[in-house]
Every structure is written in C-alpha cells, then in structure tokens.
Amino acid sequence: MGLGKSGTHSLAAMFSGSLRVAHEAEAGELIEKILAWRHGQLKEEDFHAWLRARDRRLALEVDASCLNPWLLDFLLREFPDARFVLTIRDCYSWTNSFLNHWLRQPATDARWATLNAMNFGSIDGPFAPAEQRLKELGFYPLAVYLKHWAKKNGRIVEKIPPARLLVVRTDQLRARALEIADFAGVPHCMVNLDKTHEFSNPAKQDLLRQIDRDFVEREVERCCGPLMAQYFPEIKSLAEARL
C-alpha cells in the first residue's frame, strides 16, 4: 500500500505473470463502497462483509493499491498472516508527481473526484502569496498535499506492527526487489526486475519549482519534517529532491 504515485503500480508489475496480482482491483466499485461507508450510507459490518466476499472472489496474492490505506484496520484484523509493503516517496517528488498526474489526467470519474475531495477538503484556500501558481492551476494550497502525505504515511507506519511491515522508498524498489520477495516469502525467480518503474509520466513539469523555494521548504519542514528526516535524511531542500 501507499499513496498514489508512490510505486504501487510498479510493485504489482514486479510480481505479475508469477502470482495472482492486481493493481487497484475494481477501484470504482471499491471507492463507491468506501464513500457509502464514510457517509453513513453503508453499515461498517455490511462494508466488511462485502470486502470479505470480494477477497474470496479475487483471491489475490498481491493486492497493490493506493486505496488500501482506507482499509487498513480491516486488513490488519482479517488477515493476521498478511505482510504489508509501504511504498513511500519523498514529499517533494511525490507532490510534484501528484500535481503533474492530475494536470495531465484530471479526474473525469466522479468517484475519484469525490474521494479526492474527501482526502483534501475544500479547494477554497487560503493560498499564500508565494503559491498563487497552484491557485491558477486549480490545485489546493501546498500544505494540503504535504499534510496528506504525512498523515497517510504516518498512520500506516504507526498502525502496522513492525514485523509485518516493510517500508520501501520508491527510488529503491529495484534495489530492494529481492528483499521484498524474501519479506513476502516469494521465490526470487518470481520477481520481474524489469518492471520496477512502471507508469511514469513522460511529460512531467517541475511544478514545485514554480513556487517560491523558501516557502516550499518551510512548508515541508512544518508538515513533513519527522517522516522526511526518518526516511529521506539526505533530502534537506528542494534542490536535493529529484522531481
């Protein structure tokens, strides 16, 4: 599990062809159930019964999805033998990639748009003078994305017992591919090392560098400081991030 644009697609591709794998399996229907549950239109026990039936039907050995963090408590309780891999990307490059993704592929599916609104809240600001470029492009203030990055990743690290969790930086997926296989109890021959960087954006822009650098770095320290120091200690500024 991990945020969108953090490597979940690559993780699924690494094991495709060898195991029963899916990336964001039946995402549209799953989002509908998540939204109904969060809005009180679906009882938690009914939602969990639906998830159990879905799991039996799909019978996945690798379930890679940016939607899995919504199901974290259920997954921990229902699958005590499951192992979890958190793919984590530094907050600079993740935010830049996420913004590029939505600039290139706006949410035409109302279900994804509604889920994003639930994640990020209102788009009505306030925007600091230094981040007016984000407002012009129709995005949220920078802190909204950074707080989301810190909250989602932090919750996963805190909730999953260390023995069941492997945290892998997105830029180290290939280097640690066999370690991931060992952690999951999968033979090395089932890992496709040529599939460790899937779904990249060919027309990526350096959107973060269109915002005042000092402002970006202050917001990163304020919103993401502890997790960045823990997993990306060498990235201390925007200049050191590989956007």
Domains of the chain (ranges; CATH) run: 8-240 (3.40.50)
Record the tokens describing residue 211, joined without a space.
Answer: 């915002």
Instruction: Identify the residue whose tokens are 């788009």.
Output: 123
Enclosing H/E stretch for 169: strand 165-169
Q: Is 127 helix (H, G, I), strand (E, B) or coil?
A: coil
Residue ranges in 40-141 assigned as alpha helix (H) = 44-58, 72-78, 91-104, 110-120, 132-136
Per-residue pLDDT of the chain (243 residues; tens, 9 = 90+): 999 999 999 999 999 988 999 999 999 999 999 999 999 999 999 999 999 999 999 999 999 999 999 999 999 999 999 999 999 999 999 999 999 988 887 666 889 989 988 888 766 668 999 999 999 998 999 999 999 999 999 999 999 999 999 999 999 999 999 999 999 999 999 999 886 665 555 567 889 999 999 999 999 999 999 999 999 999 999 999 998
Of 188, 12, 185, nearest to 87 by C-alpha is 12
Q: Is 105 helix (H, G, I), strand (E, B) or coil?
A: coil
Question: pLDDT value at position 104?
Answer: 80
Q: Is 185 left (phi over 0), alpha (psi -120 to 50) or beta?
A: left
Do 88 and 153 contact (CB within 8 A), yes or no? Answer: yes
pLDDT, one tens digit per residue, over 18-56 is 899 999 999 999 999 999 999 999 999 999 999 999 999
Enclosing H/E stretch for 108: none
Model-level pTM? 0.92
